[in-house]
Amino acid sequence: MRIGVILRPALVLLLLALVLKPAWFAPVFAPLVPEGTPVIYARSSLLSLSLSHLGLVAAATTAATLVAVTLAILVTRQAGEAFRPLSRTITNLGQTFPPVAVLALAVPALGFGAGPTLVALFLYGLLPIFENAVTGLSTLPPTTMEAARGIGLNRWQRLVQVEVPLALPVMLTGIRLSVVISLGTATIGSTVAARTLGEVIIAGLLTSNTAYVVQGGLIVGLFAVLIYDALVQLEAHLVRRAGG
Amino acid sequence: MIEIDQITKTYNGVSVVDAVTMTVETGTITVIVGTSGSGKTTLLRMINRLEEPSSGEVRINGESTRATKPHLLRRRIGYAIQGHGLFPHHTVARNIGAVPKLLNWPKDRIRTRVDELLALFSMDPEQFRDRFPAELSGGQQQRVGVARALASRPDLLLMDEPFGALDPIIRARAQDDLRRIQKALGSTIMLVTHDMEEAIRLGDRVAVMDSGRLVQHGTPAEIIAHPATTFVADMVGDVERPLRLLSLVPLSEVVEDGAATGDGLPADASLRDALSSCLWTGRTAVPVERDGAVIGRVTLDAIRARAELRA
C-alpha cells in the first residue's frame, strides 16, 4: 500500500514526461543505438499517437462492453437461458481468432486505417467482458433477489436497481482484462496504418532502432499498468460500497 | 380481513398445498407452522403471488389478489424473509424506504417514516440511517428487514421464518419486539415457522400444516389442549404440553390475595415462569408485583389447576 503511494505518482510523471517531453530522454536511450542514428521518434508527435491509441482502445472496449453486457443480460433472463451456450460459443470464437488474422481479413472490406483495428479489438475484447458479466449476474445473493421480487420491484427495476449494481464489480474485472489486452493488441494495428503507439515500435523494428522499440514499448506498458491499477481501485471502491 | 379460499398448488400432479381455506382477522398474528415440505412456505408465497395458485383465491379486504398486477400487489403486502434479503449496496435508510419510493412518496415523508421505524426498532436513526447492511449485526439486519416490510403501512405483513437465522437470545428479543410493534401498529401478520414454541409465543391464531393440508387452525390454547390429529400432538410435544399451556397464562389472571416470601415476579410473567421459580427456590407460592408493588401471590396449587388437561 505504502509503496503504491510513492510509485503511482512517480509512474504517472514518468509517463507524462515520455509522452510530452521525449527529448529529455535522449541521453538515456542514446547507448541503445549506433552513433548518428536518431534516438527519439520524431515523425509524428507521441502525444497525438497516444491519444489516438487510447481513443481506439476506448471506442473498441465501449462497443464490446455494450454488446457483451447486453448479451449477458439477455442470456441470464429466464427466456434467454437457452441461448447461453450459443452466445458463449460466439464470444469464444472472437477470442480464438488471432488479431493479426482479423486485421488481414478486415483490410479488404474496411480498407487501411483505424477500421480493421477497431474490429479486431472489439472481437478480442468481447469474451472476458461477457464471461464476467454472466458470472456476476448469475451469482447474485438469492435472498436479496427473492426480497427484491417480494417487495414489488418489477423486472426492469430489479435489473437496474439490484442486479446490475451488484454484478458491477465482477463486470468491471472483465472490462479491465479487456482494456489491458486491447492496449497491447492495438500496437499491431499500425501494420495496417492505424495511428497507434505501435507506429513507434514498428518503425524501430524496420530500421533496427532499439531506442524506438524501447520508447514505444515503455509508453504502452506504462499506460497498461496505470489504467489497470486505476480500474482495480475503482472495483475495490465499488466492492467496499456494496459491503462485500 | 384476509380470506384464503380453497387455495391449491399442484406441481406435476402432486398437491403441495391442498384446498386450504382459512380467514385471518385484521390486527392479529397468524402463525403457520409445519415441518419442512408441509407446504407452509408455498401457502405464504401464494398470498403475494410469488407463486401463482393452481386454483382457489385469496381476498384481501374483500378484493381478489388476482385483480392487481403481481408487482403492484406486492407493494401493498409487506414481505420479510429468513436471512433478511437486504440490498447490500443500499444504506439502511434506502433499504427501509424502498417500498415507499416505489409508491412515489415525497422524499421528506420517506425520511420521516424511516426515522420513525428505526426508533420503533430501538435503533438510533442518527447512528444507523447511513450505514450499509454489512456494517450491522445479524439482529440489526433482521430488524431493518422487518422495518422495510412495514415501511409503507401495508395491509398485511408476510414473514417467512424471519427469525430462523438468529441465535436463541436475539431471537427471543426479536419475537418480543415483533409482538410489541404489532400491538402498537395494529398490523395484520402471517408468519411461517417450523418452531411450535415460536408459534405459541407469537400467534393469536396458530395454523398447523401437514402434507399440504391445513389440519388445525385455532388459538394456541386450543392447539395445545385439543390437538386435532396425532401430528399436531407430536408438533406440540406431549411431554411439554402442560408447560406450554402455562406459558400462555399471565400471572395477572390467577393472582390471589395473600402473602408469599422471597423474590416477586412481574404480573405479566407467565405461570411457567412462576412454576419454575417455585421449583427452583422450594416455595409453594410466589409474590406478584406490578410497578414494584406486591399485588398478591400465585400458589403452586393454582398453577397445577391451570395445567391439568381438560380433555
> Looking at residue B191, what is its pLDDT?
94
Q: Are B79 and B149 contacting, i.e. CB atoms less than 8 angstroms apart?
A: yes
In a domain, A62, yes or no: yes
Contacts of B150 in chain A (CB under 8 A): none
In a domain, A220, yes or no: yes
B178 DSSP assignment: H
d(CA B232, CA B236): 6
Closest residue, chain A, to B132 (C-alpha):
A243
CA end-to-end span of chain B: 32
**A164 CB-contact burial (10 Å; exposed 0-12 / middle 13-18 / buried 19+):** middle
Contacts of B83 in chain A (CB under 8 A): 143
d(CA A30, CA A22): 12
Closest residue, chain A, to B72 (C-alpha):
A152
Split at pLDDT 50, 70, 90, the class of B110 is very high
pTM above 0.90, yes or no: no
Name, in order, each residue with C-beta under 8 angstroms of A163's C-beta and a sequence gap of 6 or more: A137, A140, A145
Name, in order, each residue with C-beta under 8 angstroms of B95's C-beta and a sequence gap of 6 or more: B86, B87, B133, B144, B148
Query: Which of B45, B52, B71, B94 should be substituted to probe chain A, the one whose Cβ sees the most A Cβ atoms within 10 Å?
Result: B71
- State phi, psi for B264 to the nearest 5 degrees: -90, 170
Verify whether the Cβ–Cβ distance B145 to A165 is below 8 Å.
no
> Looking at residue A1, what is its pLDDT?
58
In a domain, A18, yes or no: no
> Looking at residue B28, what is its pLDDT?
93
Distance from the Cα of A70 to chain B's closest Cα (Å) equals 22
d(CA B267, CA B287): 9
Q: pLDDT tens, B253-289? A: 888 888 888 888 888 888 888 898 888 888 888 888 8
Q: pLDDT tens, B8-30? A: 999 888 889 988 999 999 999 99
In a domain, A30, yes or no: no
Residue among A141, A144, A152 minimizing CB distance to B72: A152
Distance from the Cα of B83 to chain A's closest Cα (Å) equals 7
Positive or negative: CA dihedral B222, B227, B232, B238: positive
Determine the average pLDDT of the residues in B237-266. 83
Average pLDDT, chain A: 84
Q: pLDDT tens, A44-101? A: 788 888 888 899 999 999 999 999 999 999 988 887 788 888 888 887 877 777 777 8
- State phi, psi for B15 to the nearest 5 degrees: -80, 120
> Looking at residue B311, what is its pLDDT?
47
Q: Are A128 and A177 contacting, i.e. CB atoms less than 8 angstroms apart?
A: yes
User: What is the residue range of A103's domain?
Assistant: 36-243
> Looking at residue B32, what is its pLDDT?
94
Average pLDDT, chain B: 88
Cell of B185: 401498529
A140-to-A76, A145, A149, A155 alpha-carbon distances in Å: 11, 7, 13, 15
Determine the average pLDDT of the residues in A208-226. 87
Verify whether the Cβ–Cβ distance A242 to B88 is below 8 Å.
yes
- Total of domains in chain A: 1
Verify whether the Cβ–Cβ distance A147 to B102 is below 8 Å.
no
Distance from the Cα of B287 to chain A's closest Cα (Å) equals 48
Q: Are B18 and B39 contacting, i.e. CB atoms less than 8 angstroms apart?
A: yes
What is the Cα Rg of chain B in Å?
Answer: 21
Which region holds residue B122: left if phi is over 0, alpha if psi is between -120 and 50, else beta?
left
Closest residue, chain B, to A145 (C-alpha):
B85
- Catalogue the E-assigned strands of chain A: none
In a domain, A24, yes or no: no
Instruction: Find, among A178, A175, A197, the residue nearest to A186 by Cα.
Output: A197
Tell me the ipTM for this assembly: 0.79
Distance from the Cα of A140 to chain B's closest Cα (Å) equals 11
> Looking at residue B310, what is its pLDDT?
57
Verify whether the Cβ–Cβ distance A147 to B86 is below 8 Å.
yes
Q: pLDDT tens, B115-125? A: 989 988 888 99
In a domain, A82, yes or no: yes
Q: Are B13 and B59 contacting, i.e. CB atoms less than 8 angstroms apart?
A: no
In a domain, A7, yes or no: no
Verify whether the Cβ–Cβ distance B71 to A154 is below 8 Å.
yes
Name the residue with cell 379460499: B5
Instruction: Find, among A134, A58, A56, A131, the residue nearest to A95 by Cα.
Output: A131
Task: Specify the 3-state DSSP secondary structure of B247.
Answer: helix
In a domain, A94, yes or no: yes
Distance from the Cα of A88 to chain B's closest Cα (Å) equals 29
Q: How many residues does chain B have?
A: 311
Split at pLDDT 50, 70, 90, the class of B100 is very high
Verify whether the Cβ–Cβ distance B88 to A144 is below 8 Å.
yes
* Residue A158, domain CATH: 1.10.3720.10
Residue among B83, B89, B158 minimizing CB distance to A242: B89
B19-to-B15, B47, B70, B235 alpha-carbon distances in Å: 9, 14, 22, 22
